[in-house]
Amino acid sequence: MNERIFMSRADISDAEEDAVRRAIRSGWVAPLGPEVDAFEAEVAQRVGVKGALALSSGTAALHLALLHLGARPGTAVVVSSMTFAASANAIAYTGAEPVFVDSQEQDGNVDPELLFEAIDTLRGEGTEVVAAMTVDLLGRCCNYTAIEAGLAERGVPLLEDAAESLGASHAGRPAGAFGQAAALSFNGNKIMTTSGGGMLLSNDEQLLDRARYLSTQARQPVPWYEHTEIGYNYRLSNVLAALGRAQLGRLDEMIHRRRVIRRQYMNAIASLDLRFLGTADADGSDVENCWLTAIILGDDIPHTPDEVIGRMDKANIEARHLWKPMHLQPVFRNARSFSTGTSERLYRRGITLPSGSELPDSATTRVIEVLNILSR
Ligand SMILES: *Cc1c(COP(=O)(O)O)cnc(C)c1O
């Protein structure tokens, strides 16, 4: 049997192994330490924001940002429906109501006009909208030119869920630099990893200070343990930050490899009745990090994503469905949504392909062989 091809596996080299060993031998195994400080500074510099807070997950970063923006019971946060559950879960933790907004056709990112319509409608009904959370789907930034202008007009803060988009950019500005704050994820399958971890980015030092305080059990700055609020245990460990720094040093190389892989798929299956999600970028203002390459099957293809994913699995290849939109999730069945059917259609015809930077050409060749069943 061929070796299994994974969709997006951690790409770990000797550099990461050395970094983790160095961190352990330095004695800083306890959480926090010099690797965490350096990791924060390096990521902030890379993205071009004033500060960063290394956390145990991207979900934690979203949660803390939302708390600072005033998310609480009785308020609403508008959010892209086509996302991983973490985006919506972070809203639910605060007690605020997630309100889901549908996608634009081309890349599955939130439809800016519909986002504004949702905000205006909720406000018209007297609901306080404390934030708009945008999600840069599969490593492609949202249309922030439109979104920033519309949100500024309405005075609604933007929180960028950049968990999938580190290394991407819109109109020359890097993912993670939009809005009041942004969240990165370093989960094991993301563009770079700390095995598990995340980061909150912002130019607002007050926001970062508040999040830092909440992330370390809301301890008051006095010599004894004094607490006046409920806090969280959300910090990233020093050992994992060392792993992250080594990955950051290889980020461009890893993104480059993912781009090559996408190009291989595009060249090989250009004649099939399908399209690549995102990619067609008329004015060149968006640079994707190519985290995951997804195809949307055309109407003439008599196969469902389930069938294709099944065939892949038989060939020992992992492919998956696109995120199932949150407004279709049983857990959010009572949540409000502004939907047009676009994200549902993308979900019903979409497949994400193996995209990991550690995949050799022989792996993409195997994937392409299976995809060629679509031509018959
Ligand atoms: C992975 C992901 C998250 C959550 O990140 P974790 O580090 O796993 O908590 C949030 N939003 C999106 C869109 C993601 O893909």
pLDDT in tens, 303-355: 999 999 999 999 999 999 999 999 999 999 999 999 999 999 999 999 999 99
The pTM of the whole model exceeds 0.95: yes
Q: Is 57 helix (H, G, I), strand (E, B) or coil?
A: coil
Task: Answer whether residue 41 is part of any domain.
Answer: yes
Which range of residues forms the domain containing residue 360? 251-375
CA 163 to ligand 1 centroid distance, Å: 5
Does 284 score more than 80 pLDDT?
A: no
Q: Is the model's pLDDT at 4 over the cut of 70?
A: yes
| pLDDT tens digits, one per residue of 229-256 | 999 999 999 999 999 999 999 999 999 9
Our answer on whether the CB atom of 161 is closer than 6 Å to any ligand 1 atom is: yes
Number of domains making up the chain: 2
Residue ending a domain, choose from 249, 270, 290: 249
Query: Residue whose CA is closest, atom 2 of ligand 1?
Result: 163
Q: Say which CATH number the domain at 174 has.
A: 3.40.640.10
For residue 197, give the ligand 1 atom closest to its CA. 7
| 230 shares a domain with 100 | yes
Contacts of 245 (CB under 8 A, 6+ apart): 19, 35, 38, 39, 42
Ligand 1: residue of 63, 79, 87 to mutate (most ligand atoms within 8 A of CB) is 87
Co-location of 166 and 43 in the same domain: yes
Start-to-end CA span in the chain (Å): 25
Q: What is the DSSP string of 21-40?
A: HHHHHTTTTSB-SHHHHHHH
56 C-beta closer than 6 A to ligand 1: no
Rounded-to-integer distance, Cα 340 and Cα 103, Å: 8
Cα torsion angle, 96, 101, 103, 109, sign = negative
Query: What angle separates helix 238-249 from helix 34-47, to the nearest 10 degrees?
Result: 40
Q: How far apart are the CA of 275 and the centre of ligand 1, in A?
A: 25
Q: Which atom of ligand 1 is nearest to 57's Cα?
A: 7
- Report d(CA 46, CA 18) in Å as an integer: 22
Average pLDDT over residues 185-213: 97
Query: End of a domain among 216, 249, 282?
Result: 249
Residue 230 DSSP SS3? coil
Instruction: Answer yes or no: do 116 and 204 share one domain.
Output: yes
Q: HSE, CB side, 13 Å, CA atoms: give it for residue 324.
A: 7
What is the C-alpha to C-alpha distance for residues 103 and 338, in angstroms, rounded to an integer? 10
Q: Are strands 198-202 and 181-185 parallel, antiparallel or unpaired?
A: antiparallel
Nearest-angstrom CA–CA distance, 332 and 99: 10
Ligand 1: atom nearest CA of 137 is: 13
